[in-house]
Structures are given as C-alpha cells and as structure tokens.
A and B are shown apart, each in its own frame.
Chain A
C-alpha cells in the first residue's frame, strides 16, 4: 500500500516500459527464429536485421519435411513421449497410493530408496544403461528410448503427497460401503487425483519430448528411431548453412511444448510451485 503512495506515476510508467523492453529483448531470439523461418534463403543474413523478407515463404516448412523425414521424427517423438508418460503416470499413481494409504512390510525402506534415487544425476546412469541396452538387444529401438526413464521416482512423491491431503473419512466411507482396496482406489482416489496426474503427465511428456543425450547415444538409425531433438541436430548438421530451414525445423520442434505451456499455464505454474518440477 505505501509503496503505491511513495512511487510516483511517471516513475511507475518508466519502470513498466523498462520491463516491457526487457521482455522484448528476451523474446528477440524466438521472434528472430520465426521471422527467419519465413524468409527466402538469400535474405536470412541481412544488415540491418529485418523482421520480414521480401515474401513470406511458408514453403520453407514444407521443405523441412522433404529434406529429412521430419514427420517421422515428430511421430517417433509423440510415440515415445506418450507411451513413456502413460507408463510413468500409471506406476507412479499406484506406488504413490501404496506409500501413502496402504500398510505393508518394508514400506519405509522402499520409500527411502525411492528418495535416494532422486539424488542420482541421470548422466551418471547413461553408460551402464547403454551396456544394459546392449545386453537386452535394445540398442536402436523404441523400447530403449521409452523404458529406461519410465520409472523415475518423482511421480511417486507427487502422487503420495497428493494422497496425504485426501481426508481419511473418504476411505472409511468407502470401506463401510464394502469396497475393497482396489475399488476404493479406482472408484474414489483415482478420480480425485486427476489434476495431479495431469501435471505429472505434462511434465513427463515434455521431458521425453525434449530429451537429447540419451537418444543421441542409443539411436543409430536416425531415420527410423530419432525423436525430434536428435532429428533437429542431424538436420542442423546437414543443412547448417540453410538457416531458414533450420529455423523452420526449430519452430516445429518447439511448437508442442509452447502450445502445452500456453494452454495449461495455470496448472503448470501451480505444479512447479508445489513440486519444484521441471528444473533445468
């Protein structure tokens, strides 16, 4: 209240203008990306820099798909991210329930192990994971892209933490009605957990979609198994000087994540705030 009184109008306006300027500078790389993706090849490097070329070339986007099987990368990326997310959310909601609502021998020990795995950087796991994929005969396969990261422990915490907030009376009421463990879980708990699961699903999807180091290691046949970031890297390697196409490919790779962010911003913000999810 008092800072409203002490800060004068003009000063506030200047401050706000500065904030807008900062935001514009911050957005410049993304704006430049979109602008370049629509320029003719010859005009990508112009001085002074221009926002629009002599024409708006949507054709660049079509060209991206004809130089490399980019649609394949997109489909692969969706397949890997969707299946991985489904597995992760399923096992996490089950274990989260077990850690919060069920009594069983060894629960605290297993939970402590889950906690401990969160300390391990995934880069440390990459080498032995690759050896394991060799042993399984999974190198260069979709299961190698999906399975190893489908069991990360975080979802269990998120779900456990949610179930701890559900009033005990709900279980009791279900039990009085004669519902067993499975029916209580499916009929009462699972519907309640839907918002939490949505947040978990979105972050898991984005993490899979953006993953780079692991696909780089485990995929040999890029045309068959590459997801979008790996495909983009390959594309960049081949078309490095064709900046208009590289930028169009970048736009395509960013699009799903930006759309998800804009559509679900409120839920995601809440998810990050309550969970510390998604740190980079």
Chain B
C-alpha cells in the first residue's frame, strides 16, 4: 500500500534523461516511439495477453473508485440501514471542526515536509558527485529507510523521542538540558513527525536527483567553468535547469505521497496531543473503521483525492516557469 503507486514508466533509450513524465506525452510516445505499433495483423492475442491484467484492474481499481464516489453520497454504516443522503456527508464534513483541523494539519505537514525533503535530497545529490570516494556506499545508506517498513522506522523513532531516549539522554549528558517531551508537546509533535518523515523519505529523491546529475553532459559544465562560473553558479545556472524535469517529477511524487501521510502520526502520536497532529488519512481511517461510517469516510477520501488532483494540476500549470525540456 505504501508504495505500489509508482508513477513513471522507464524511459526507452530513445528518450533523453529527464524527459517530461506527462501521461499524454507517454501515450503519444507509444505511437511514434522506437517500438511503435508493430507490423502484422490485428488479432485476438492482444486481448488474451492484456485480459487478465485489465480485468483485475477493472475489478480492483476502476470499480472501487466509482463505488467510492457513490458511497460518498450515502449514509453507509458498517452494519445497518444504508440510505441516499446526497451531499449530506460533504456538508457534515465541512461543518465538522475536527475535519477542518485535520486538513490544516495535513497541509502543515506537507508545507514543512516537502521543501525539507527536496532541499536535503538535492543538496546531498549535488554533494555526492562521482569524485566523492565511496559515493555508492553513501547513496545506499541514505536509501535504507525508504525500503524498510514504515512501521518499524516509526517504532524506532518513538524510542528516540521518548523522555530518556537517545535524544533526551544525549542532550542531558552533554549539555545538561532536558529535551522537550516531543510527542506530547503541542509545539513539538508535528515537527517531530516531520523530522522522522524527512529522515525516512529523502533517500529516494536523492537517488533520483543524483542519477539525473550524473547524466548532465560534461561539456555544459566545463563550458560554464571556462566562463569563470564557480561551483555554486555552475549548479544553479547549468545543472539545475538540466535536471529540472527530474526535480519536477520528484516534487510531484513527494507532494502526492505526503498528502497521504498516515503511519507516522498514527503510530507516533495517535494524532495527539488532542487532534493537533491528526491527518486526513487518519481521519478517514477513524471515520470508516472506528466510527464505522463508511459513507462519511468515502466523502473524506474524495476530498483528499480532489486536493491531490488540484495540487497536481497546479504543478503542471506552473512547470513552464522553471522546468526546461530540451
């Protein structure tokens, strides 16, 4: 669940690194790419080969997405009478102060997490040039928490944050200061969740950016250096524009997944103190499986879906300003 939602198909060799990942573009590529439609007759074989996957996807993705829209217009308790309520669930949601809080919390998380993730991953990717000794060791190290189970990562960080845990004990024994009780302190809880999430998540973008930087043509970089550009200028004027499509892709992915943050607050703080770290997916989970109102939960899920679609659309519209495709 956490990450079978991969999004970009690989590029064929005919594509330059950092090509636009837009869906329409991919579909178009299917028609004129190196493969292209092959010679030979049309036959039933295509339907036979694509059949199992298509049927499975129809039953387990297309059907549920349509069903969830329908369910969101119904009162659908886990047990008991179901009835049509039209937009009732949506008006209930928006008049629920907790729902407004969880939206703000989720947005707060995204606003803190995404820039931090991108800055750290881009910074390290730029640092880990091929000249760095053992760079592949560093790359793999930073990547480890992205493949280990989130639940395990979170449990470990619970212990770091506990009073007397690694952070508190280190501060206490070195500077003699008591660390705040991060997870129950309203001022710290969200920051603690963000810090843990950044630790666990940035390795993926770092790897993506690092590989894109490797593919920047050497002659571009050398030309800039001959013109007297220093490392900083070379990075921002040459390398960054060259890898901007990859950064765009990484930003999109990170945004989409960060709106769905669940396990970290669920296991670190249970959404507390109060509801100060409860996120949208946790609200959907609680509404659906604790309060057992599946209709209301579906409406919440659709609000999340629309937010994600909206953010994605804004990203695509805004990309012209800073993403350079050759």
Q: Does A225 contact B (CB under 8 A)?
A: no
Stretch at the interface among B62-70, B186-194, B236-244, B317-325: B62-70
Q: Does B100 contact A (CB under 8 A)?
A: no
Check B312 against A107 for contact (C-beta < 8 Å): no
- Which of chain A's residues have a CB closer than 8 A to the CB of B141? 23, 26-27
Q: Does A56 contact B (CB under 8 A)?
A: no
Among B138-152, those with CB < 8 Å from A are 138-152
Query: Shortest Cβ distance from B261 into chain A, in angstroms?
Result: 10
Among B19-56, those with CB < 8 Å from A are 21, 23, 26-27, 30-31, 33-35, 37-50, 52-54, 56
Of A101, A181, A258, A280, the contact of B3 (CB 8 Å cutoff)? A280
Q: A121-B304, A125-B61, A127-B288 are in contact. Are A49 and B166 (CB under 8 A)?
A: yes
Chain A window 196-225, contacts with chain B (Cβ cutoff 8 Å), 1 for yes, 0 for no: 000000011011111111101100000000
Chain A window 250-263, contacts with chain B (Cβ cutoff 8 Å), 1 for yes, 0 for no: 10011001101110
Check B64 against A132 for contact (C-beta < 8 Å): yes
Chain B interface main SS type:
helix
A163 to B34, CA, bound (A): 10
Check B1 against A279 for contact (C-beta < 8 Å): no
A42 to B156, CA, bound (A): 18
A277 to B5, CA, bound (A): 8
Check B222 against A1 for contact (C-beta < 8 Å): yes
A271 to B281, CA, bound (A): 29
Of B40, B68, B138, B285, the contact of A217 (CB 8 Å cutoff)? B285
- Which of chain A's residues have a CB closer than 8 A to the CB of B259? 121
Q: A98-B46, A265-B136 are in contact. Are A243 and B159 (CB under 8 A)?
A: yes
Check A213 against B267 for contact (C-beta < 8 Å): no
A113 to B55, CA, bound (A): 12
Check B159 against A161 for contact (C-beta < 8 Å): no
Query: Shortest Cβ distance from B191 into chain A, in angstroms?
Result: 16
Check B56 against A16 for contact (C-beta < 8 Å): no
A236 to B155, CA, bound (A): 8
Check A260 against B147 for contact (C-beta < 8 Å): yes
Closest residue of chain B to A155 (Cβ to Cβ) is B53
Check A278 against B204 for contact (C-beta < 8 Å): yes
- Known A-B contacts: A29-B199, A261-B147, A275-B6. Give 14 more (CB < 8 A): A2-B225, A16-B133, A29-B157, A33-B159, A95-B53, A100-B30, A154-B7, A158-B9, A168-B39, A212-B151, A212-B263, A214-B1, A272-B211, A280-B204
**Sampled A-B contacts (18; CB under 8 Å):** A33-B159, A45-B165, A49-B166, A110-B54, A113-B57, A114-B54, A121-B260, A127-B71, A128-B67, A132-B60, A149-B4, A152-B57, A168-B38, A168-B39, A171-B38, A211-B1, A213-B2, A214-B1
